[in-house]
Amino acid sequence: MHKRVFKRNDNKELFLYGNNEHNEPSTKELEQTPTSEPHMRWNPARQEWVTYSASRVNRTAFPAKEYCPLCPSGNLNFPTEIPFKNFEVAVFPNRWPSFNTHSNASKVHTINTKPSNGYCEVVVYSSNHNETVADMSLDRIILLTKTWIDRYKNLMPKNDVEYVMPFENRGEECGVTLHHPHGQIYCYPFVPPVIEKEVISFQKENFILSMMEDLKEKYFVYQDDFIIAAVPPFARYAYEIWIMPKIQMAGPWQFNENQIKSFANCLQKVIQGYDSFLGKKCPYIMGLHAAPNFEDDKFHFHVEFYPPLRSGDKPKILAGSESMAGVFIMDLLPEDSAKILREHMNI
Ligand SMILES: [Zn+2]
């Protein structure tokens, strides 16, 4: 894998990852934008941090509406985020980050506040505006996986970062405004509550390995020797899928070449399967849950997919019980949705 580091006009770095070396000269860049200085406030009722990034409203740098800011700018009359004619995978800092290391402390009396230190990156999967993971070559998804691994290796050691999470929101139902295939990486200055619970849980028992035989027989939607995609028996969404290595691994940084290939293939099978099931590009929220530390020998890496669906194509709303009490109410049994989805995963 080749990696080119391009220094932007704001002194921040744009990374171009590729199977081929990237040498082309840059074109006109976007104008510089003021950096946001987000802060966190402690929510004492929920016992969790909330981050506020008020400057996100001043989004002036983007090209005209008819141009996609994630397309290569080479053939457009307006500069975009990627000032080149072509690229394979591109990663750059979000111009309006929810987490950004700075020293400007915003204070609110009576509650605990802190600067929202950390980083937010955008990962553009392809220069092709219409290509999603479902349509890409396996080589490209392998490259995307290697890009995530490289970002983990670069971002986790930073002093102001406690947790790194790559994720993707797909579809307007999940709040996406830019349709060009892309994901994000959030680097948090603390271990987020959902991950903290998983860390504690895996320290007690590896519940993924404990249920593996059941997953292989009853809940799988796709599997090979190394990896399995399954609807967890305790799913909170009707068509929730987890992708899991069949052995304990802290994160994708422990994958060898064959395991990366197996993972990339499984990722594509799941997304193609969702699209086939729904008969259109299926909306989902997808996130990589890796250990907070490289050497963790308890945490079991997995990828979670939440499509916002109740059953069939009916939308799932996080309503009274889910939002107010944190108790999910389900209409469909996980073993039944696994059966439905499995039909779509091997085509
Ligand atoms: Zn585009």
Q: How far is the CA of 179 from the centre of ligand 1 (A)?
A: 7
The pLDDT of residue 92? 97
Given a cut of 60, whether residue 104 has pLDDT beyond it is: yes
Q: How far is the CA of 128 from the centre of ligand 1 (A)?
A: 7
Given a cut of 90, whether residue 53 has pLDDT beyond it is: no
**Tokens coding 260:** 């990366």
* Confidence label for 62 from pLDDT (cuts 50, 70 and 90): low
Q: Are residues 77 and 42 in the same domain?
A: yes
How confident is the model over 89-100, as pLDDT tens digits?
A: 999 999 888 999
* Confidence label for 34 from pLDDT (cuts 50, 70 and 90): confident
* Confidence label for 147 from pLDDT (cuts 50, 70 and 90): very high
Q: Are residues 151 and 206 in the same domain?
A: no
Within a domain: residue 196?
A: no
Within a domain: residue 104?
A: yes
Given a cut of 70, whether residue 60 has pLDDT beyond it is: no
Picking from 167, 190, 213, the residue at the C-terminal end of a domain is 190
Given a cut of 90, whether residue 3 has pLDDT beyond it is: yes
- Phi, psi of 15, rounded to the nearest 5 degrees: -110, 130
Q: Are residues 163 and 284 in the same domain?
A: no
Q: Are residues 208 and 311 in the same domain?
A: yes
* Confidence label for 50 from pLDDT (cuts 50, 70 and 90): very high
Q: Are residues 208 and 173 in the same domain?
A: no
The Cα 211–Cα 335 span in angstroms is 13
Within a domain: residue 47?
A: yes
How confident is the model over 275-305, as pLDDT tens digits?
A: 999 999 999 999 999 999 999 999 999 999 9
Q: Of 53-57, 161-165, 312-316, where does mean pLDDT reach its minimum?
A: 53-57
Q: Are residues 169 and 306 in the same domain?
A: no
* Confidence label for 63 from pLDDT (cuts 50, 70 and 90): low
Helix (H, G, I), strand (E, B) or coil at 249: coil
Q: How far is the CA of 130 from the centre of ligand 1 (A)?
A: 7
Given a cut of 80, whether residue 16 has pLDDT beyond it is: yes
Within a domain: residue 31?
A: yes
Q: Report how many domains make up the chain.
A: 2
With CA atoms as reference, report the closest residue to 297 among 254, 260, 263: 254
Beta strands 227-230 and 241-245, pairing class: antiparallel
Q: Are residues 334 and 213 in the same domain?
A: yes
Q: How far is the CA of 68 from the centre of ligand 1 (A)?
A: 4
Q: Other CB atoms closer than 10 Å to residue 323's CB: what's the count? A: 10
Q: Are residues 23 and 165 in the same domain?
A: yes
- Phi, psi of 181, rounded to the nearest 5 degrees: -60, 120
**CATH code of the domain in which 42 resides:** 3.30.428.10
Q: Are residues 205 and 159 in the same domain?
A: no
* Confidence label for 55 from pLDDT (cuts 50, 70 and 90): low
Largest CA distance in the chain: 58
With CA atoms as reference, report the closest residue to 38 among 94, 93, 105, 98: 98
* Confidence label for 73 from pLDDT (cuts 50, 70 and 90): confident
Given a cut of 90, whether residue 134 has pLDDT beyond it is: yes
Which is higher by pLDDT, 105 or 333?
333
* Confidence label for 336 from pLDDT (cuts 50, 70 and 90): very high
How confident is the model over 238-256, as pLDDT tens digits?
A: 999 999 999 999 999 999 9
Q: What is the mean pLDDT of the chain?
A: 92
| Domain of 7, in residue numbers | 2-190
Q: How far is the CA of 196 from the centre of ligand 1 (A)?
A: 36
The Cα 132–Cα 110 span in angstroms is 46
Q: Are residues 282 and 224 in the same domain?
A: yes
Q: How far is the CA of 37 from the centre of ligand 1 (A)?
A: 28
Query: What number is the average pLDDT over the span 30-59?
Result: 84
Picking from 190, 216, 249, the residue at the C-terminal end of a domain is 190
Query: What number is the average pLDDT over the span 124-133?
Result: 93
Picking from 127, 156, 190, the residue at the C-terminal end of a domain is 190
Q: Other CB atoms closer than 10 Å to residue 15's CB: what's the count? A: 19
Q: How far is the CA of 129 from the centre of ligand 1 (A)?
A: 4
Within a domain: residue 94?
A: yes
Which is higher by pLDDT, 130 or 287?
287
Distances (CA, A) of 91 to 114, 156, 185, 198, 231: 27, 16, 9, 28, 31
Within a domain: residue 331?
A: yes
Q: How far is the CA of 61 from the centre of ligand 1 (A)?
A: 16
Assess whether 180 carries a catalytic annotation.
Answer: no
Query: What number is the average pLDDT over the span 128-139?
Result: 94
Q: Are residues 339 and 208 in the same domain?
A: yes
With CA atoms as reference, report the closest residue to 171 among 266, 87, 280, 86: 280
Q: How far is the CA of 102 from the centre of ligand 1 (A)?
A: 31
Which of the residues 180, 182, 302, 344 is marked catalytic? 182
Given a cut of 70, whether residue 81 has pLDDT beyond it is: yes
Within a domain: residue 195?
A: no
Q: Are residues 280 and 321 in the same domain?
A: yes
